[in-house]
Amino acid sequence: MSAQTLFEKIWNRHVIVEEQGELVLHIDRALIHEGSSHAFAALEKQNRGVARPRQVFAFTDHYVPTGGRDQGVDGIANPEIRNMVLRLTANAAQHGITLFGIDDPRQGILHIVPPEQGITQPGLVIAGADSHTSTHGAFGCLAFGIGASEMMHVMATQTLWQRRPDTMRITIGGRLGFGVSPKDVILAIIAKIGAGGGTGHVIEYAGPVVTAMSMEGRMTVCNMSIEAGARAGMVAPDNTTFSYMADRPYAPRGAAWDEALAFWKTLPSAAGAVFEQEIALDGNAIAPMVTWGTSPEHALPVTGKVPDPRAAADEKKSAEIAAALEYQGLTPGMALEDIALDRVFIGSCTNSRIEDLRAAAEVASLGRAKVTAWVVPGSQTVKRQAEEEGLDQVFRAAGFEWREPGCSLCTAINGDQLQPGERCASTSNRNFRGRQGTGSRTHLVSPAMAAAAALTGHLTDVRELLK
């Protein structure tokens, strides 16, 4: 047998049957949220149950508000959202599914809670009701988002029809400089390969920059694989992975841990394994990044200038840049650091873990916010830890608002949204037109960069504040 990639080792173990290029894949874990009611309705219509309820996990995150949560579900003002939460609660109870509900002390985003609970493990295939399920690939598993009809199929059969994607390895050499974070790494990658550069591929991230990252940093990188068009992102499991997982509530224990660990150590891509595409980046050359347009590929070092459409390589690209600048209200050639802001958002499944909040708090402690700034932890567990460390007090002293866990301004479908024309520096993953509210303007940045922008009121090179 030829040398196999990490992806191939996992994929091949999970194939049940193959027919004319399509195959049935065994799914180990399924992750759902309040928006998954259509999958349950389809189950009921076909008079089916959930095949393996212990392998399905439900979360209240996308729609729940991040303010006014003292009364739990009864305190949700929007009746449609309240009914969605109640429906998920009822469906989970009916089918015996574990629910991390609005009143659960472990409640949080479905890409934050499973890793911290040990539900996410190397070697698994995980399907989630959200595109950023790719986050979990940081643990050396294959994780991807699926739609409602596919989720119904997974819940009914614990399997899914799929086509085999191609493989791509992105190797980041060298080491990151002062003030540069994993968020900057993935923005630099997308700027290089484009928002469609990973289409049809599963990306494995490798190289010294990646192996030096914490698990939280790796999750940030894998999270935005979707923004590069990829099906999923992965990082080979190593001692950093195993140390993070040890003693998590759902992690194996005792002899089962030893057996699992022995298997996990066999997963990294073998020497000589062939990828359909190979891409390399120099980590030393990556700077703090910021997006200027309406696609994650519209990213530049914060020290750069807004691009001029006339300098584009072709007419199509020129028109794309011009349209983005018109929507964003920017002028070609203006310094990115001259872009004034109305809001700052620190949160989302990309950047709401404890290390993200620590990085933002370090910067927030240097001054006071000049614009409205929200900090939304990714889970109740993260929120408690941050409060134990006093991070919430740091943010409050700096004029930031400390809120309850949820997707919040990333999805803007929960009452948290920008007003038309408002401009926000955001640690989320998408800067599409209207993503944070109708007519909203979004600039993607790292947590430290977001905190720096809050203190100055404009996009700012965080290195200048920290040095």
Domain boundaries, the chain: 1-287, 289-466
For residue 337, the one-letter residue type is E
Q: Both tokens of residue 65? A: 């508000």
- As a CATH number, domain 1-287 is 3.30.499.10
- As a CATH number, domain 289-466 is 3.30.499.10
On average, the pLDDT of the chain sits at 97
Q: Both tokens of residue 236? A: 């080979």
Phi/psi zone of residue 258: left (φ > 0), alpha (ψ -120 to 50 degrees), beta? Answer: alpha
Using CA atoms, how far apart are residues 450 and 443, in angstroms rounded to an integer?
Answer: 9
What's residue 74's pLDDT? Answer: 86
pLDDT digits (tens, 9 = 90+) for 146-189: 999 999 999 999 999 999 999 999 999 999 999 999 999 999 99
In the three-class reduction of DSSP (H, G, I as helix; E, B as strand; rest coil), residue 274 is classed as: coil
* Element of type H or E holding 423: strand 423-426
Give the number of residues written for the chain: 467
Q: How far is CA 375 from the centre of its chain?
A: 16
Q: At what angle are helices 380-388 and 354-364 packed, to 10 degrees? A: 40
Using CA atoms, how far apart are residues 283 and 37, in angstroms rounded to an integer?
Answer: 43
Q: At what angle are helices 354-364 and 215-223 packed, to 10 degrees? A: 100
pLDDT digits (tens, 9 = 90+) for 109-141: 999 999 999 999 999 999 999 999 999 999 999
- Per DSSP, 187 falls in state H
Residue 134: closest CA among 48, 222, 250, 261: 222
Residue 162: closest CA among 264, 10, 379: 10
Contact 306, 333 (CB under 8 A): yes
What's residue 274's pLDDT? Answer: 97
Q: At what angle are helices 79-95 and 37-45 packed, to 10 degrees? A: 50
What's residue 72's pLDDT? Answer: 87
Below-70 pLDDT ranges, the chain: 1
What's residue 1's pLDDT? Answer: 58
User: Is the C-alpha dihedral spanning 61, 224, 38, 148 positive or negative?
Assistant: negative
What's residue 444's pLDDT? Answer: 98
Query: In sequence order, what are the residues at sequence separation of 6 or more whose Cβ sits closer than 8 angstroms to the Cβ of residue 460?
Result: 302, 337, 449, 452, 453
